[in-house]
Structure 1
Amino acid sequence: MEQFFRLPDSDDLNRYDNNPAPLDQQFGIRPLGTLKPLSSHDIAGSIAGIGMETLDRDTYDPAPLYDPLCAAGCKWVRLQTGWIKCEKTAGVYDFAWLDAIVDNLLRRGIQPWFSTGFGHPIHTPVPAYEELFRQSGNSPANGMVRGYVGEVPLYHGPRAMAAWKNYLAAMAEHFAGRVRHYEIWNEPDVHRVFWRHLGQPVHADLKEELRRIRIAEDYVDFVKESAEALRKTLPQVKVIATISHPVSDHVRVAGIRRLADWVDIISYHNYANTPEAENCDKVAFFRSHLTVPGKTTEFWQGEAGRATRPHHGGCYITSEYVQAKYILRRLLCDFQTGMKVSSIFTASDLRSYYPDGADQEFGIFKADPVRPKLGFFAFQAMATLLAEAEPTSRMMISGNLINGNMAGSRLNYQFNSVAFLRHEVPVFALYLPESIEISVPPIRCEVKVSGELGCRFREPVLIDPLRHKVYAIDREIVKYPDWAYGSAIIAPYPVTDYPIFMTERSAIELERA
C-alpha cells in the first residue's frame, strides 16, 4: 500500500513530459524535504472533491479507490444514483449497491453528494433501448443506453413524474443522516445528450434558440417538483440545481424563472481548456443572473477535468502531466472564485462509457490494473494546501519580470496570484496561466508580498505541489526595502505554469526521511 501511494521520482522525466523539477538548482532556494499530505480524516473542511460518476452503469469497481481517496484528502464525492439500478421492480427500491459506496466513503471522512437521474425502462420506456437490451443479453455496450441516460420523466406524463418523485422520496428517507445534498439531474442544458425524450432531443420542431429557452423553462419546472418531493420527506435536504455552461441562454432563462427560489445550491461545470480563461467573468455572469435578492445561494463547481488520452470530440493534447497541471489550476481557480466545492471529473477511467462502447480516460486512476496517475498526487497536494483555507483580501502577491526575461504567452494576462490563510498563517500562490498543453520553463521574477505587519517571514518555504517538494528560501533573496512600503521583496523568484505555493515552514509537515 505504501508503494501504491508513492509519488513517481521527479527524475522519471517521462511522467513529467520531459520537464525537470522547476525549482531544483535555483539561486537562493534549497531542497528541504517532501510535503506530508493530510488524509480526509485530518481535514475539517475543504473544497477538494472528486466525482465517482457512472457507477450506476458499472463502469468500474469503486472498492480499490476508497483508501486512496482518503489518503488524497478528498472531502466530497459526487455520486450518480441510477434510478434504473435502484428500482428493478416498480415501487420496490434496493439501495444496497449505493449503501456500500456511501458507507465506505463516510467511514473515511468523505461526504457523498447525489446527482439524481436518469430514466427508467418501466416508467420512461424507450422502445429502441429495449431492443438493444434484448440483443445484448441485458447489458448493452452503449454506456448511455445502459443507464437510460438523459431520459427525462417530465416528458412521459404524470405517472412517470409520480414514480420519479416516489423514487426521490424513498432515497431521501433511506439515506437520511448520511446524505443531505441532492442534485437534480445532470447537465440539462447539454440537451442533445442529457435531456431527451424517447432517446431523442426534445422540442425538435423548434428553432435552436427557442428550443434552449423551452428546455430551461422545463428544467425549472422539473427542479420545483423534485425539490418539493425531497423536502416533504427530508426537510433538512440541500437541493442542488445544475448547469453545464455558465454563460448561456439556459442561465438567463433560469434566472428569469427564479430557479434559485427552489434550490439551496447551484452547481456548474467548467471544462475550459485553460482554467483561467474568462473564469472570474463566467462566475460573475451566472451569479448575477441566478442570485435571488434576499436569499443566500451557494455555488459549486460540480464537474471539470482533463483526459489523459484523446476522447470523443476532444481536440486537446493529452498526457498525465497535462492532466495534473489542469487539476492544480482548476482547484485553485475555483477557490479563487468562491466555490464551496470543486469536483474533479473523475476518480477512475471509465469502461464502456461512450455510445460505441469505448472507454473514457478522465480518471486520476487507471482502471485495469488500478494505479494512480500523476493527477492523483496533484489532487493530494492541493487538498492538503487548501485544507481549512480562508480567503482574504488583506494580503496579495504580485510579480514583475526581471533580467530581460519574457513570458511567451499571447494571452491577455501575465500572472495569476492567490492569497489565503490557513489557521491564520498566510499562504500565497503565483503562476503563469499559460495554455495547459505547453510547458513553460521557470521565469525569474521579482515578487512582492504584501500583508499584515509587512509579511516579516520567519522561515519562508516554497512548495511544488506537482512533485510534493518543499524548498527553503534563503534570507539573502528576501528584502524589505523602504520603497516597498512594508512589503517583502523576493528576487530571484522562479515562476512556472502551475501554482507554486509560499508559506511559513510552520504551516506544513514534512515526510520523515
Structure 2
Amino acid sequence: MTTPAAQIESQDVASLVRAQLPPPAGVSRAGRAEISQATAEITSSRLGIGFETLDRSMFTAERVYPHLSRLGAKWARVQTGWSRCETEPGRYDFAWLDEIVDSLAAAGVETMFSVTFGNELYMPGVPHESAVGYVPIYYDGAAPAWTAFVRALAERYRGRVTHWEVWNEPNIPQFWQPREVSGRDYADLVRVTAQAVRAEIPDATIIGGATSLVDPAFLVAALRGGLAQWIDAFSFHPYQMVPEHNLRNSHDLLRRLLDEHSPDRRIALYQGENGCPSQLAGHHDDWLGMYAMDQVVQAKWIARRFLADLGVGFDKIFYFHAVDLMERPYRQAGEKVNAPVMMGLIHGGSYAPKYSFEVARRVCHLFDDRTRRTELMCLFTERDPAAPQRSTLMAAPHVATFERDGAPLFAYWLAEDPQQRAEQASIEVELWWDDRLSMDHPVLFDLLTGEVYAVEQPAELRVRDWRSRGIRYRLPLTDYPLVLTDASVLDGFDARWRDR
C-alpha cells in the first residue's frame, strides 16, 4: 500500500521561490514583517478554513490544531458525520465531535457545522458506511431518524456552534443520491433540518446552498421551493484556476436572486469552499485544468483567492483545506475510490506547513475585520510604456481596496492564470483616498515573501495637470497581490520589523 508521504510530489521549494519570486524592481527593501500574533488574538474575521472529512477520519486533527492556532483563520467548516455519530439506532456518540469543536475553540477558531450525508442504518444498499451523498428524505424511516439526530446534535452544541450549513453540493450527483438532483427537494431537506436545529437553537444561523460552482437554475428551483424562508446565508463553491474569472458576475447574480426572493430580509452570501492543489499529478482535483502546478503557484492562487473574495464582498470566505486528505480513501457517492485531495496548507504526510501556509497566515492576519473593504480610486495606465503594444496582450491588473486603522490599503496584481508564471513588470498607477485616511510613509508589502519595501513617488510623476486626479506612482506588477499601504498598518498588526 502506498504511504501518504509517497503521494506528495517532491519539490525544491527554495528554487521555486528564487525562480518565481524575484525582489520587486523599483522599490527599496525596508525590512521583513514577521507575524507573532496568535489566532486567538484576532477578535473577528470573515476568513475560514476547511476542516471537513473527519466524519471519515481522512486526516489526524490533533496534528493540525497547533497550526490553526497560528494561522489566523477564525472559522472552520466541520462535517457532522451522522454515520459516525449514530452506529446503533437511537444512540449517539458525540465524543469525537466534542474533541473537534473544543480543540478548535482552544485554537481561537469558531466551528461552522456542515450537517450532511446519510447513515447506512436507515439507508439499505448504500455502497459505503459513511453514506456520502445519500439523502435521508428519500428513504422510508430515514427522515425521522435524521430529524432526531439533528435535534440531538443541536441540543449538544447549543451555545458552542452558532452556524449550521445544510448538506454539501446538493446540485451534483456526486453528493445527491439516490434520485436526480432537485432544487425543490433540497429546499425540503433544508426545511426539515432547519426546523430541527431551531427547535433547540432558535437564533441559529442556517446556511443553505453549498452548491458546486454557480448554479442559478438549481438556486431558482430551490428558492421557488421555499428555501429563502429557512436560511440566513447562502454558500457556493466557485472552483476555478483563475480566481477572479467571472467572480463579480457570480456574486452579483446570486445577490440579485437572493434579494428578489427575500426582499425584506438580507440573506448573507458566503464563498463556502474553494481550494487549489500544490502539485500537478497524483490527486483527485486534476479536473481543475492544471498543467504547471507547484507550491509557489498554489500560494499565489490562495493570496489571489482571498483578496478577490474580500474585494467582492462575501460575508464569509473559506479555503479548502487545512491539510491534504490522504489517510483514508476519498469517496463521494457511489463505489469509486478517488485519488487523494492535495489542496491543504499542510502536508498530509508530514503535517509540516507548505509554502502556502505562511502566505495564507499573512492574509488572515492583515485582512481580519479591522480591515474594511472600502472603494478607493486605483487607476492603472500603460503597463509597459517602453512597449505600449504589449498592454493589449495581457489581462488588466486586478485591484481590491480597503482601509485599516486610518490608512488605505491597495492590493493589486496581474490576473493571469497563475500557472503561466507571468514575469514581473512595472505599471503606472494613480491613487486617491479620502482625507480621513492617510499614507504618510508608503510601503509595499509582499504577501508571498513577507518582505516590506519603501516606496517613493518618482519625480516625473509629481507634476499635476488637468488629467491627474490623485497621487501617481510607478510600481512593480506581479501575478500575485502586493499591498501598498502605510507603514503604520504593519506596525499595528503586531509585525516585527527588521532592517528598519
1:196 aligns with 2:166: no
1:267 aligns with 2:252: no
1:443 aligns with 2:425: yes
Superposed CA deviations along residues 147-181 of structure 1, whole A, max 9, x for unmatched, are 21001001003x21111011111111101111011
Q: Which residue of 2 aligns with 1:285?
A: 253
Which aligned pairs between 1:48-59 and structure 2 lie closer than 5 A?
Answer: 48-59=47-58
Question: 1:113–1:180: 8 Å Cα contact kept in structure 2?
Answer: yes
Give the TM-score taking structure 2 as reference length.
Answer: 0.88
Superposed CA deviations along residues 464-493 of structure 1, whole A, max 9, x for unmatched, are 1111111111355695432265511112x1
Identity %: 31
Q: Which residue of 2 aligns with 1:67?
A: 66
Which aligned pairs between 1:433-512 and structure 2 lie closer than 5 A?
Answer: 433-453=415-435, 457-474=439-456, 476=458, 480-483=462-465, 485=468, 487-491=470-474, 493-509=475-491, 510-511=495-496
- 2:484 alignment partner AA: M
Question: 1:39–1:71: 8 Å Cα contact kept in structure 2?
Answer: yes
Secondary structure at 1:343 match in 2? strand
Which aligned pairs between 1:162-241 and structure 2 lie closer than 5 A?
Answer: 162-190=144-172, 192-197=173-178, 202-203=179-180, 212=181, 215-241=182-208
Q: Which residue of 2 aligns with 1:248?
A: 216
Separation in 1, partners of 2:302, 2:457: 32
Question: 2:406–2:438: 8 Å Cα contact kept in structure 1?
Answer: no
Secondary structure at 1:446 match in 2? strand
**More displaced 10-residue stretch of structure 1: 55-64 or 254-263:** 254-263
Which aligned pairs between 1:72-471 and structure 2 lie closer than 5 A?
Answer: 72-126=71-125, 129=127, 145-157=128-140, 159-190=141-172, 192-197=173-178, 202-203=179-180, 212=181, 215-242=182-209, 243-291=211-259, 292-309=262-279, 310=281, 311-312=283-284, 313-314=286-287, 315-317=289-291, 318-351=293-326, 352-354=329-331, 355-356=336-337, 358-388=339-369, 389-393=371-375, 395-400=376-381, 401-405=383-387, 413-453=395-435, 457-471=439-453
- 2:167 alignment partner AA: W
Quickly say closer, same or farther: Cα 1:408–1:22, change in 2 above 3 A: farther
Quickly say closer, same or farther: Cα 1:116–1:396, change in 2 above 3 A: same
Structure 2 unaligned residues grouped into runs of 5+: 1-11
- 1:331 alignment partner AA: F
Secondary structure at 1:287 match in 2? helix
**More displaced 10-residue stretch of structure 1: 469-478 or 261-270:** 469-478
Q: Which residue of 2 aligns with 1:133?
A: none
Separation in 2, partners of 1:165, 1:407: 63
Give how far 1:411 is off: 8.0
Number of equivalences = 467
Superposed CA deviations along residues 210-231 of structure 1, whole A, max 9, x for unmatched, are xx5xx11100111111111111
Secondary structure at 1:16 match in 2? helix
Q: Which residue of 1 aligns with 2:7?
A: none
Separation in 2, partners of 1:411, 1:238: 46
Superposed CA deviations along residues 197-220 of structure 1, whole A, max 9, x for unmatched, are 2xxxx14xxxxxxxx5xx111001
Quickly say closer, same or farther: Cα 1:29–1:160, change in 2 above 3 A: same
- 1:397 alignment partner AA: C
Give how far 1:454 is off: 9.7
Structure 1 unaligned residues grouped into runs of 5+: 1-10, 130-144, 204-211
Separation in 2, partners of 1:412, 1:15: 23
Superposed CA deviations along residues 121-144 of structure 1, whole A, max 9, x for unmatched, are 1112226x3xxxxxxxxxxxxxxx
Q: Which residue of 1 aligns with 2:5?
A: none
Give how far 1:430 is off: 1.1
Separation in 2, partners of 1:22, 1:434: 20
Secondary structure at 2:254 match in 1? helix
Superposed CA deviations along residues 9-38 of structure 1, whole A, max 9, x for unmatched, are xx9643438213341xx2243332234254
- 1:364 alignment partner AA: L
Superposed CA deviations along residues 224-252 of structure 1, whole A, max 9, x for unmatched, are 11111111111011111022222432022
Secondary structure at 1:502 match in 2? strand
Give how far 1:449 is off: 1.0
Separation in 1, partners of 2:423, 2:175: 41
